[in-house]
Amino acid sequence: MELLCIQSQEHPELPLAELKAVIECENIEAKIDDVAEGLVILKDISSDKIYEYYKILTKRLGYTHEIHEMIIKSNIDDLAEDLQTVEWSKYINETFAVRVKRLHSEIDTVGTEREIGTLILENSENIKVNLSKPKTLIRVAAFGNDLYVAIERIKLNKKHFEDSKPHKRPFFYPGSMNPKLARCMVNLSRIKEGELLLDPFCGTGGILIEAGLIGCKVVGSDVYWKMKNGTAINLDYYGITDYRTFHLDVRELKMYEKVSSVVTDPPYGISTSTGDVDGDEIFKEFFHAIYDNMRDDAYLCMASPHYVDLKPMVDEVGFVIVEQYAIKMHRSLTRIISVIRKK
């Protein structure tokens, strides 16, 4: 069986990297066919695993906007022939609607929706179209003239990413990254539900909220008492209970239990203070402080500005950079997202 994933196109690489990381750490057995930016098909999934995988992916992913169970791949010219091979009663419960999403395609959306709807009606009995409140949604992704016809089984709740934007949290302080990127970084760290994740520069807790929501145990620390407290206020607000927070300089970090992953956005630039540590020194100090607090198989996912060269620093401590992604913030700042692990 197959799953159709429609992804955000706000970054050319991160959505696919996030999906691959989750597939890896959750041991999902599937072949990844990245058809185009924004469109990925997960193939060769065994039918008894499909709902388990479907649930994991819908719960975890930030940059994947929709996930559906594939019915058939067709194209504009062969629609009539292909759609009559499908036993629609297996998929449709009384009423349905068809929605087409174009990804790098020029096809007529409304015309194609109507055509597919008509063909489904011609090939089945006792079902009706209901455009406003369909019981079944047939989702079609169009890429060029190819049409990936799928059915929505689980709705993804993307409202959370809107509701948890930094200024909507009870404790606000400038400098928190957007929640989708925070979720993506948590996923890039290959953490799993029930494992322990640390953010030693926790600020307002943006990263910890995302990790908590996918079921991780979280620990946050910050050199400022006000931030450590603010993180706790925010975690409580989002219903996260399995957490601890500490008022601590990163250089004094000594965890009671080695962590399964570290995800963090260290201070840099003019808007965030680095305590009393100078410039790039904070990164060096951070790598040294964090190493012994991580399990040997743990991953670290962090953000840094393009002008800080992490390579010599990670080499010195015994880490290795596994993946890096650049996000252009403005003319003079590119943010680098790095995935790092022990050598």
Nearer to ligand SAM, 122 or 252 (CB): 252
Nearer to ligand SAM, 100 or 250 (CB): 250
Of 249, 291, 317, 335, which lies in the binding site for ligand SAM, with binding defined by CB under 6 A?
249
Told to check if 229 binds ligand SAM by CB under 6 A, we report: no
Q: How far is the CB of 47 from ligand SAM (least distance, A)?
A: 41
The 187-206 site mask, x for binding ligand SAM (CB under 6 A), equals -------------xx-xxxx
Told to check if 220 binds ligand SAM by CB under 6 A, we report: no
Q: How far is the CB of 20 from ligand SAM (least distance, A)?
A: 24
Q: How far is the CB of 263 from ligand SAM (least distance, A)?
A: 9
Told to check if 265 binds ligand SAM by CB under 6 A, we report: yes
Size of the site for ligand SAM (CB under 6 A): 22
Told to check if 240 binds ligand SAM by CB under 6 A, we report: no
Q: How far is the CB of 192 from ligand SAM (least distance, A)?
A: 21
Nearer to ligand SAM, 286 or 319 (CB): 286
Q: How far is the CB of 87 from ligand SAM (least distance, A)?
A: 49
Told to check if 207 binds ligand SAM by CB under 6 A, we report: yes
Q: Using DSSP bridges, classify how beta strands 259-264 and 39-43 pair: parallel, antiparallel or unpaired.
A: unpaired
User: In the numeric block, which tokens belong to residue 263?
Assistant: 């995800």
Told to check if 176 binds ligand SAM by CB under 6 A, we report: yes
Told to check if 109 binds ligand SAM by CB under 6 A, we report: no
Of 275, 306, 308, 336, which lies in the binding site for ligand SAM, with binding defined by CB under 6 A?
275
3-state secondary structure the chain: CCEEEEECCCCCCHHHHHHHHHHHHCCCCCEEEEEECCEEEEECCCCCCHHHHHHHHHHHCCCEEEEEEEEEEEECCCHHHHHCCCCHHHCCCCEEEEEEEECCCCCCHHHHHHHHHHHHHHCCCCCEECCCCCCEEEEEEEECCEEEEEECCCCCCCHHHHHCCHHHCCCCCCCCCCHHHHHHHHHHCCCCCCCEEEECCCCCCHHHHHHHHCCCEEEEEECCHHHHHHHHHHHHHCCCCCEEEEECCHHHCCCCCCEEEEEECCCCCCCCCCCCCCCCHHHHHHHHHHHCCEEEEEEEEEEEECCCCHHHHHHHHCEEEEEEEEEEEECCEEEEEEEEEEC
Q: How far is the CB of 90 from ligand SAM (least distance, A)?
A: 45
Q: How far is the CB of 265 from ligand SAM (least distance, A)?
A: 4
- Site residues (CB under 6 A) for ligand SAM? 175-176, 200-201, 203-207, 222-224, 227, 249-250, 265, 267, 272-275, 277
